[in-house]
Chains A and B, each alone.
Chain A
Amino acid sequence: MTSFQSMVLRADVNRIYDEKYRDEQHYKSEKRFIRPEKNRGRDKKNKKRGWIVRGMGIDLPFCLIILVLLIIGMIMMFSASYPVAYYTMNDSYYYLKRQLIFAVIGVAVMLGLSFFNYNKLHKIAPLVLGISYVALLLVLVLPSNNGVHRWIGVGTFGIQASEITKFAIVLFFAHWGSKYYNKMQYAKYSIVPGVIIFGTTAMLLILEPHFSCTVIVFILTVLMLYISGMRVKYIAVGAVGIIAVIIVLWLTGGLGYAMTRMGGWGQALVYTDETMWQDTWQTRNSLYAIGSGGLWGLGLGQSRQKYLYLPEPQNDFVFAIVCEELGFIGAVIILLIFALLVWRGITLSLRAKDKFGKLLGIGLTAQIGLQVILNILVITDWLPNTGISLPFFSYGGSSLIMLLAQMGLVLSISRTANIEKQ
Chain B
Amino acid sequence: MAKNYVKYHKKTDVGPNQRLRRRSVFLILLILVAGFGAVIARLAYLQLVQGSYLQEKAVEQQLTDTTVSAKRGTIYDTNGKVLAQSASVWKVVLAPAYFETEEQRVQVAKDLAEILELDENDVYEKTKQNSYYVVVKRKIESDTREEIIKLQEKIEEEYNLSNVIQLLDDYRRYYPYNDLASSVIGFTGSDDQGLEGVEYQYDSYLTGTPGRIVTAQNANGTDMPFQYEQNVKAEDGNSIYLTIDETIQSICEKYMKKGIEDNAVANRGVCIAMDVDTGAILAMVTVGGYDLNNPYKLPENTQKEIDALPKDKQGSATSAALSQMWRNKAISDTYYPGSVFKIITASMALNEGVVDDNSTFYCNGSMTIADAKPIHCHLLSGHGTQNFTQAICNSCNPAFIQIGQKVGTEKYWQYYQSFGFSERTGIDLPGESEDIFFSQDGSMTSVDLAVASFGQGISITPIQMITACASVANGGYLVQPYVVRQIVNSEGNVIENVDNKIKRQVISKEVSDKMNEILEYNSTTGGANNGYIAGYRVAGKTGTSEKLTSTNGSEDYIASFCGYAPADDPKIAMLVFFDTPTGASYYGSQVSSPVFINIMSEVLPYLQVQAEYSDEEMQYVDTTAGAYVGMSVEEAKSKATEAGFTTTVKGDGDKVVSQIPAVSAKIPNGGNIVLYTDSSSEKEKVTVPDLVGYSISEVNSIASNSGVNASISNAGASSAVVSVSQDIEPGKEVSPGTVVTVKFAASETLND
Contacts and interface: CB of A to CB of B under 8 A. Distances in A.
Interface of A: 83, 87, 181-182, 185, 223, 226-229, 269, 285, 287-295, 302, 304-305, 307-309, 323, 327-328, 331-332, 335, 338-339, 342-343, 346-347, 349-350, 355, 358-359, 362, 366, 369-370, 372-373, 376-377, 380, 382
Given A290-B46, A305-B58, A87 B32 contact: no
B237 to A, nearest CB: 36
B373 interface: no
Contacts of B154: none
B21 to A, nearest CB: 6
Contacts of A308: 218-220
Given A287-B46, A295-B51, A328-B47, 11 more contacts: A226-B23, A228-B20, A229-B20, A285-B58, A288-B61, A294-B48, A307-B62, A346-B28, A373-B31, A377-B42, A380-B42
A291 B218 contact: no
A367 to B, nearest CB: 10
B5 interface: yes
Residue among A83, A181, A327, A373 with most chain B CB within 10 A: A373
A349 to B, nearest CB: 8
B35 interface: yes
A350 B8 CA distance: 22
A324 to B, nearest CB: 9
A372 B39 CA distance: 9
A289 B43 CA distance: 11
Contacts of A362: 24, 27
B39 A377 contact: yes
Contacts of A369: 31-32, 35-36
Contact of A309 (B48, B52, B218): B218
Contact of A304 (B16, B58, B220): B58
A368 to B, nearest CB: 9
Contact of B52 (A294, A304, A307, A373): A294
A328 B44 contact: yes
Contacts of B224: 304, 307
A290 B47 contact: yes
Residue among A223, A292, A308 with most chain B CB within 10 A: A292
Contacts of B58: 285, 288-289, 291-292, 304-305, 309
B11 interface: yes
Contacts of A292: 51, 54-55, 58-59
Contacts of B54: 287-288, 290-292
Interface in B683-700: none
B36 to A, nearest CB: 5
Contacts of A373: 31, 35-36, 38-39
B53 interface: yes
A185 B14 CA distance: 13
Residue among A309, A370, A372 with most chain B CB within 10 A: A309
Task: Report, nearest first, the 5 A-B pairs whose CB atoms are least far apart.
Answer: A291-B54, A307-B218, A288-B58, A308-B219, A373-B35
Contact of B21 (A304, A323, A350, A380): A350
B122 to A, nearest CB: 27
Contacts of B43: 290, 323, 328, 331-332, 376, 380
A304 B48 CA distance: 18
Residue among A87, A289, A290 with most chain B CB within 10 A: A290
Nearest to A310: B219
A153 B5 CA distance: 49
B16 A182 contact: yes
Contacts of B304: none
Given A304-B58, A323-B47, A370-B31, A309 B219 contact: yes
B233 to A, nearest CB: 25
Contacts of B52: 291, 294
B219 A307 contact: yes
Contact of B27 (A87, A269, A307, A346): A346
A346 B39 CA distance: 20
B50 interface: yes
B83 to A, nearest CB: 49
B57 interface: yes
A366 B39 contact: no
Interface in B45-95: 46-48, 50-55, 57-59, 61-62
B46 A342 contact: no
A346 B32 CA distance: 12
Interface of B: 4-5, 8, 11-12, 16, 19-21, 23-24, 27-28, 31-32, 35-36, 38-40, 42-44, 46-48, 50-55, 57-59, 61-62, 216-220, 224, 226
A304 B38 contact: no
9 contacts: A87-B218, A228-B20, A290-B46, A291-B54, A292-B58, A304-B62, A369-B32, A377-B38, A377-B42
Contacts of A226: 23, 27
Nearest to B4: A182
A291 B219 contact: no
B499 to A, nearest CB: 55
A342 B31 contact: yes
Contacts of A380: 39, 42-43, 46
A297 to B, nearest CB: 9
Contacts of A349: 24
Contact of A291 (B35, B36, B51, B226): B51
A372 B31 CA distance: 10
Contacts of B20: 227-229, 350, 355, 358-359
B42 A376 contact: yes
B230 to A, nearest CB: 15
Nearest to A185: B8
Contact of B51 (A182, A294, A332, A335): A294
Contacts of B35: 369-370, 372-373
A305 B219 CA distance: 9
Residue among A339, A362, A382 with most chain B CB within 10 A: A339
Nearest to B220: A308
A362 B54 CA distance: 38
Given A288-B57, A288-B58, A377-B42, A346 B51 contact: no
A203 to B, nearest CB: 27
A9 B38 CA distance: 68
A346 B42 contact: no
Contacts of A302: 226
A302 B224 CA distance: 11
A182 B8 contact: yes
Nearest to A230: B23
B27 A227 contact: yes
A178 to B, nearest CB: 10
Contact of A328 (B11, B27, B48): B48
A212 B34 CA distance: 20
Contacts of A185: 8, 11-12
A380 B38 CA distance: 11
A60 B154 CA distance: 61
Given A328-B44, A342-B31, A227 B23 contact: yes
A295 B24 contact: no
A370 to B, nearest CB: 7
Contacts of B55: 288, 291-292, 294
Contacts of A223: 27
Contact of B47 (A87, A181, A182, A331): A331
B62 A309 contact: yes
A294 B55 CA distance: 8
A305 B57 CA distance: 11
B28 to A, nearest CB: 5
Residue among B16, B20, B50 with most chain A CB within 10 A: B20
Contacts of A359: 20
Contacts of A327: 47
Contact of A293 (B8, B51, B216): B51
B103 to A, nearest CB: 21
Contact of A338 (B4, B27, B36): B36
A334 to B, nearest CB: 11
B47 A293 contact: yes
A4 B631 CA distance: 171
